Structure 1
Amino acid sequence: MTTTATRSGRVPLGDRTVHRLGFGGMKLTGPRVTGPPADRGTALAVLRRAVELGVDHVDTSGLYGPHVVNDLIREALHPYPESLVIVTRVGARRTPEGGWDEALTPGELRRSVEEDLEHLGLDSLPVANLRMPGLGEPAERSVGEPLEALDRLRQEGLVRQLGISHTTARQVAEARGIAPLACVQNHYNLIHRTDDALVEELARDGIAYTALEGVSYTSFFPVGEMGPAQAAALDAVARRVGAAPVQVAVAWLMTRSPNVLVIPSATSIAQLEHLLAAVEVALDPRDTEELDRVVTLGGPPPGGPPAWGGR
């Protein structure tokens, strides 16, 4: 385990390598990930500033808005820098009420990929992640049929690399037997450590692991979900290293394993710069040991994942 989060660290992501701290576009929408942002100009400025600061992978989906974030990315960044990897997510559809229904048939996956290509202004998606269903936590079911359908789109050239999202370790193992994976995206942070063994397995095999809800992605960010003892432990480390708790949470993810990617989302340039500054936070072995123990200090207060189940 390393002791300093540095922007210079790079991870293979499909046929490219990227900096470990990227940007997640989910928050650049209206309430409940529906409709346009309150300030379109600010959303565009955030995307442009992220790339100026060295972000070279942006996570998005046609589900966001729907299509709002993809349209913003195209307006802000097209023609795209050669180094930029756009990662999108397919496998669900938005309902008129703002819900998230599965869309895993071959025809639905093709439509999702084609819509992403159109809204992003691309001929081929650099990385397309198959999002499996489940409210809050993943549902244990086969990924075979939908991943095989998505792999056929890869063979056609509509997608360059495949990933899988919102999955269990068993589903990841099944997926790896079907097609090469560029990345796995799952809920992971200081207090949600279900994937510890999976992170390490993927690291050994050179596969990127993206920590969804790692920091300020949806409502799962740990600072708001921690119990009192957990929050106190995080605060203590933050005071000692002279950083904000959110920055320490990012730095811990960066030290957790060299294959971990983090995709914080931001709705203002100030928030973006604050989060990206986490790469300068140095954690020594004492800090990381204390943060590793946070998960054992008691669960979060009553509540749970948001009813809309979006990721």
Structure 2
Amino acid sequence: MTTTAAPTITIAPHSAQPLPVSRLGYGTMRLPGPEVWGEPANRAEALQILRTAVELGVNFLDTADYYGQDVTNRLIREALHPYPADLVICTKVGATRRPDKSWVPYNRPENLRASIDNNLRTLGQDQIQLVHLRLMGHGPVPLQEQLEAMFEMQREGKILHVGLSNVTRPELEEGLRLGPIASVENMYSYAQRTTVQLPHGANPGGEEVLDLCEQHGIPLIPFFSLLHALPKADNRIGEIARKYQASEAQVNLAWLLHKSPVLLPIPGTSSLAHLRDNLQARDLQLSAEDMAYLG
């Protein structure tokens, strides 16, 4: 028996302006230069990746004005503006980059407002459809104060829907008490499901909040969804890949698509060939037995 991964998902389904999108999006973080800094090594290919993704049915793009700086936003605008009517561009605020390329919080209300205004300008939009508040450690700014600033800009019409990124379970529970949370973006892949320590801080895993997202009908958007550095003793994903004559990356993405209907992977790449390969995961149907074997 095969299981069927739903081809679409709706962000904020019970709101006045729901956003239906295809369940494989594209994350732009890999487009800038090394360390997510500066212009892409191959600008023409970066632009073509964005255009090809949309041509092949991708209508959810994930970006941030601190990718580059502003590099991915400018590439999106150059490649795709005027935007297709069904294209959803999701950006993030709450962080910034220093000249030494470090990642630091930028989450005071005035910072968040400056980031939104910058995203609107660089993307060429009057309203951003979905904005994730990226949590980088609250420091002196409580989560409530950050979210209140986001909801204020939502009331002003600068933001359509507000989401959270890099959240622990308690933080998501608090966010849900404070207002409508449209989506969550956390690290999640077949091999990396719980919190992982990275150079710029801890990244909570998707598994820690998945059941809450399911209960509330909130899309969970895995970033680093192609992180699959498995222990050498665990070759299950490779075995399933050989069974279907697929790549391990495709099986990883298919596992996410079959794991839960609220998952919306956004695999990123700076290679046009890898983009096409990743999108073929939409056609890979895993059986119930496959899913049980993968765990």
Contact 1:46/1:272 (<8 A) preserved = yes
Secondary structure, in 3 states, of the residue corresponding to 1:260?
coil
1:248 to 236, 248, 251: 251
1:81 to 60, 73, 84: 84
> Where in structure 2 are the equivalents of 1:221-240 lying within 5 Å?
221-222=227-228, 225-230=229-234, 232-240=235-243
**Residue 34 (str. 1) matches residue 37 (str. 2):** yes
Contact 2:11/2:19 (<8 A) preserved = yes
2:219 to 208, 212, 215: 208
Deviations 1:2-31 (A, max 9, x none): 72335xx21112321111100000011000
Q: Using the alignment, how far apart are the partners of 1:11 and 1:279 within structure 2?
A: 13
Instruction: Please identify runs of 4+ aligned residues in structure 1 that moved more than 4 A.
Output: none
Per the alignment, residue 12 of structure 1 pairs with: 10
Per the alignment, residue 60 of structure 2 pairs with: 57
1:46 to 49, 55, 59: 49
Amino acid at match of 1:239: R
Structure-2 change in CA distance of 1:142 and 1:190 (3 Å) = farther
| CA-atom RMSD in angstroms | 1.7
Distance apart, 1:267 and its partner CA:
1.3
Contact 1:5/1:280 (<8 A) preserved = no
Amino acid at match of 2:155: Q
Secondary structure, in 3 states, of the residue corresponding to 2:178?
coil
With structure 2 as the length reference, what TM-score do the two structures score? 0.90
Q: Using the alignment, how far apart are the partners of 2:38 and 2:29 within structure 1?
A: 11
Equivalent residue pairs, number = 278
**Residue 290 (str. 1) matches residue 293 (str. 2):** yes
Distance apart, 1:200 and its partner CA:
2.5
Distance apart, 1:268 and its partner CA:
2.2
Distance apart, 1:142 and its partner CA:
4.6
> Where in structure 2 are the equivalents of 1:183-222 lying within 5 Å?
183-194=183-194, 195-196=206-207, 198-215=209-226, 221-222=227-228
Per the alignment, residue 200 of structure 2 pairs with: none
% identity of equivalent residues = 38
Deviations 1:255-281 (A, max 9, x none): 010010000112122111000001111
Contact 2:59/2:88 (<8 A) preserved = yes
Distance apart, 1:151 and its partner CA:
0.9
Deviations 1:224-277 (A, max 9, x none): x211022x1111111112211110000000001001000011212211100000
Deviations 1:62-96 (A, max 9, x none): 01001000000000000001100000000011101
Secondary structure, in 3 states, of the residue corresponding to 1:177?
helix
Contact 2:168/2:209 (<8 A) preserved = no
2:117 to 104, 108, 114: 114
Which structure 1 segments of 5+ residues have no match?
216-220, 293-311
Q: Using the alignment, how far apart are the partners of 2:23 and 2:210 within structure 1?
A: 14
Higher relative contact order (CA 8 A, sep 6+): 1
Which structure 2 segments of 5+ residues have no match?
13-17, 195-205
